[in-house]
Amino acid sequence: MARTVGLLSLAVILFFTAAVSPLEAAEPVRERFEANDFESRLFLDWLYQDVGPDDEVIFSASSHGSAEKELIEKVLGQIESEAHHRGEDLSDRARSEVSALRQELTVLAEENASGRDSRWRELYRRCCTLRRLGRLAETIEQAPRWIYTTHYVLGGSHYAYTEDVTDAQLVEDYGRCDGGELFEATIGEDGTVQSRSLVKTDTGTLRDPDVDWDASKIVFSMRKSFTDDDFHLYEYSLSDGRLTQLTFGDGLADVEPCYLPSGEILFGSTRARAITDCWKTEVSNLFALSADRQKITRKSFDQVTVNYPTVTPDGRVLYTRWDYNDRGHIYPQGLFVMNTDGTGQTAFYGNNSYFPTTILHARAIPDQSGNVLAIASGHHTRQKGKLLLIDRSGGTEENTGCRLIAPVRETPAEQIDVWGQEGEQFQYPYPIDDHNFIVAYLPEGCRPKQPVGEYYDSKFGIYWFDAEGRRELLLWDPEVNAAQPVPLQARTKPTIRPSTVDESVTVGRYYVQDVYSGPRLEGVERGTIKALRVVALQFRPAWIMNNRNSGPAGAALVSTPVGCDNTTWDVKHVLGEVPVEEDGSAYFEVPAQTPVYFQLLDEKGDMVQTMRSWSTLQPNEFFGCVGCHESKFDTAANQETLAKGNTLALQKPPVPMKPIFTPPEGIAQNWGFSFTRDIQPILDRHCVACHSGQGDSDEENVPFSLTAEDHFRPEEGTSHYL
């Protein structure tokens, strides 16, 4: 059944208090006007914008009307100035209404009406309503219908911990609460908003809606119970209200779906069966559900969680990737892009940065500029933060190509774990164009609650915003957070890039044009690099004891240790080496669907530089780069070589990798090293004759033992730290 969320016709009079006592007059605005319904909250939010949350004069018995007059004059001036800012003139009707409102203001001022006179409030409300209609005009014209969800604020001790599967190795309640609902909302020409419920669960929660290209269906994630169900994908048909479950499986969580132009649905899932390197929590990678809904294919093979995929106007997928191979775990949560078939996975913004700590909920602005609207957030936080505009024409790292908006302000590059969690909070921005945004917003912010969690004085509402920070409340419920707004309208499909993936092929090919190109080899003499080493990463599925890592990027527990303190996060397999040509080029094959990184070696086999990230190829994919960590906008530096034709590496087929050792019979090349299997026999042959750990009791400096019997084994009841 439809329900009216906002009643803003010019005939409605908001009445908050018939009289205000002297005691009440000394209270701030937010205390004197408790918002328990939408109309009260809307009025309160206008006051927040125009006079601040702690004003002690407006509409009180202590006011003689001068402050109210100044406030209303300010709003009337904004009506005219904001129209000019939008590049338009006031309509004859609006101009007439402004004139009439000014006349009423003059009458009140001449009467010396006190601030407690309800006519001040009513006049202010009518002025704000007229201002609201001007602000919302373009949105009402372009995107009047929306869907949104209501649920608790997602995240936990870490922004990515949202899946919470029923068979988790570590079950933690990060402030989740029962109840979730999917709504359809419509903004009327008079600025009122009406909504109706589409799907509801009282015992679980519902999240992550996306609208199909023809606006006939909605896909979302839902769990019907926190004890007996997991997140699965569902599809809702708007024509007949039919609800269809799309994915299944106990102990699996499928979240954050989005429709691809091909008809597939891309989503995050714990089907990756891996654990976070620094905690006992499951992670999600990207998977795709086929257009006929019969097959699920894995698209990313990443270290930890991949978040919030969305389709850009050019037909690629933008998403957040948590990335900490051979570096700290806190800061690299930047943006990546890929083609819809999983090829072309590459950094988009912030992969080599401390700031922003995390970039969340990113959506490309639909004007083909390449700019992105996102949330700048922290690491050990929930999914909320500040509103961020990314323009890569200024750069792709730190604060070079991004700025805080609403309002536009200085954006320093700061190294802070829980960045952006103080003051007002934003979530899930959706850009209608380059100056009209719909976003979930909490003006009061929230307070930390120990040991884990946050306390919310109010609930997130859905707002209209522009980059300067002007805003209008659209939807708000005092009992539950409103989130994840998405326009309910047909969209033009981006051009679908023909897929190069061939599942019958087991390899992909990398091409490096010139390893010396880029800042990471600055100062290295040309000719120094003789080979490129390929190292594969293997991510573990379970907690296996723990130790700790620490460094400039913070300290962390390591839940998948491969050695003593401050060693690598993951198991690594040296797949082999390939030659680097005299002109700096290399062309080689690697196993497909395998995360790998590269090291550059000199003539002695010593490492000159290493890659602190990873790359993954799909079967039959070709991926090329200019150099090592060069800017995404750089062209080849070695123009002299290119002028002569292809580089030396491209003048012959891709080079197979030369393995650094031959594994025992029956052991696959990528099995990796085993100390017991590969190293202990060497010690037995050459070392243990002396290093037996045995000797006369009075003998000094008994050689330490290198026998197999002395390998460390923790005894039951001892510390689980290595």
Span 200-210, pLDDT tens digits: 999 999 999 99
Higher pLDDT, residue 646 or 428: 428
Give the pLDDT band of residue 12 (cuts 50, 70, 90).
very low
Helices 66-85 and 38-51: angle between axes, nearest 10 degrees: 90
pLDDT at residue 93 tops 70: yes
Give the pLDDT band of residue 521 (cuts 50, 70, 90).
confident
Give the pTM: 0.88
**Residue 183, beta-bridge partner list:** 148, 197
Phi, psi for residue 266 in degrees, rounded to 5: -90, 140
Higher pLDDT, residue 562 or 139: 139
Residues 6+ apart with CB under 8 A from 463: 438, 439, 440, 441, 471, 472, 473, 474
DSSP state of 428: E
Are 474 and 464 a contacting pair, CB within 8 Å? yes
**With helix as H, strand as E and coil as C, how does 84-134 read?**
HHCCCCCCHHHHHHHHHHHHHHHHHHHCCCCCCCHHHHHHHHHHHHHHHHH
Type of residue at 709? E
The whole-angstrom separation of Cα 60 and Cα 383 is 38
The reported pLDDT for the residue numbered 703 is: 81
Closest residue by Cα to residue 637 from 521, 485, 510, 504: 521
Radius of gyration of the chain (CA): 30
The reported pLDDT for the residue numbered 458 is: 87
Burial degree of 608 (CB within 10 A; 0-12, 13-18, 19+): middle
The CA–CA distances, whole Å, from 468 to 74, 111, 434, 519, 555 equal 17, 36, 12, 36, 38
Give the pLDDT band of residue 565 (cuts 50, 70, 90).
confident
The whole-angstrom separation of Cα 612 and Cα 652 is 29
Cis peptide before 663 (omega within 30 of 0): no
Helices 118-142 and 66-85: angle between axes, nearest 10 degrees: 10
Are 562 and 269 a contacting pair, CB within 8 Å? no
Mean pLDDT of the chain: 87
The reported pLDDT for the residue numbered 491 is: 94
pLDDT in tens, 684-709: 999 998 888 777 655 667 788 888 87
The whole-angstrom separation of Cα 621 and Cα 615 is 12
Are 303 and 323 a contacting pair, CB within 8 Å? yes
Question: What SS3 class is residue 610?
Answer: strand
The reported pLDDT for the residue numbered 492 is: 93
Cis peptide before 654 (omega within 30 of 0): no
Q: Region 631-641: what's the mean pLDDT?
A: 63
Question: What SS3 class is residue 282?
Answer: strand
Vertex 586: Cα angle to 582 and 587 (nearest 5): 145
DSSP code string of 614-676: -B---TT-EEEESSSS--TT---S-HHHHHTSS-TGGGSPPBPPB-SSPPPTT--GGG---II
Q: Region 296-321: what's the mean pLDDT?
A: 96
Closest residue by Cα to residue 379 from 482, 440, 305, 450: 305
The reported pLDDT for the residue numbered 17 is: 31
Taking the mean position of all CA atoms in its chain, how far away is CA 352? 16
pLDDT in tens, 249-292: 999 999 999 999 999 999 999 999 888 888 888 999 999 999 99
The reported pLDDT for the residue numbered 480 is: 94
Phi, psi for residue 550 in degrees, rounded to 5: -155, 160
pLDDT in tens, 281-293: 899 999 999 999 9
pLDDT at residue 450 tops 80: no
The reported pLDDT for the residue numbered 30 is: 53
The whole-angstrom separation of Cα 126 and Cα 94 is 12
- Please give the structure tokens belonging to residue 101: 């409102």
The CA–CA distances, whole Å, from 308 to 24, 282, 312 equal 46, 16, 13
Which residue's structure tokens are 């045995």?
A: 694
Give the pLDDT band of residue 149 (cuts 50, 70, 90).
very high
List the single range of 435-444, 448-457, 541-550 with lowest mean pLDDT: 448-457
- Please give the structure tokens belonging to residue 644: 């002569």
pLDDT at residue 49 tops 70: yes
Higher pLDDT, residue 559 or 398: 398
Question: What SS3 class is residue 271?
Answer: helix
Burial degree of 280 (CB within 10 A; 0-12, 13-18, 19+): middle
pLDDT in tens, 573-584: 899 999 999 999
Helices 66-85 and 92-110: angle between axes, nearest 10 degrees: 170
pLDDT at residue 673 tops 70: no
The reported pLDDT for the residue numbered 4 is: 35
The whole-angstrom separation of Cα 441 and Cα 461 is 6
Q: Region 566-595: what's the mean pLDDT?
A: 92
Burial degree of 539 (CB within 10 A; 0-12, 13-18, 19+): buried
Question: What SS3 class is residue 47?
Answer: helix
The reported pLDDT for the residue numbered 9 is: 29
Q: Region 9-28: what's the mean pLDDT?
A: 32
DSSP state of 524: P
Closest residue by Cα to residue 318 from 293, 346, 294: 346
Closest residue by Cα to residue 597 from 582, 579, 583, 609: 609
Query: Percent of the chain scored above 70 by pLDDT?
Result: 88
List the single range of 469-473, 515-519, 616-620 with lowest mean pLDDT: 515-519
Torsion sign (Cα): 50, 373, 382, 569 = negative
Are 283 and 275 a contacting pair, CB within 8 Å? yes
The reported pLDDT for the residue numbered 515 is: 93
pLDDT in tens, 209-230: 999 999 999 999 999 999 899 9
Vertex 152: Cα angle to 150 and 157 (nearest 5): 150
Which residue's structure tokens are 């499909």?
A: 493
- Please give the structure tokens belonging to residue 44: 């309160």
Phi, psi for residue 450 in degrees, rounded to 5: -90, 150
pLDDT at residue 638 tops 60: no
pLDDT in tens, 366-410: 987 899 999 999 999 999 999 999 999 999 999 999 999 999 999
Q: Region 41-66: what's the mean pLDDT?
A: 83
- Please give the structure tokens belonging to residue 335: 């943006």
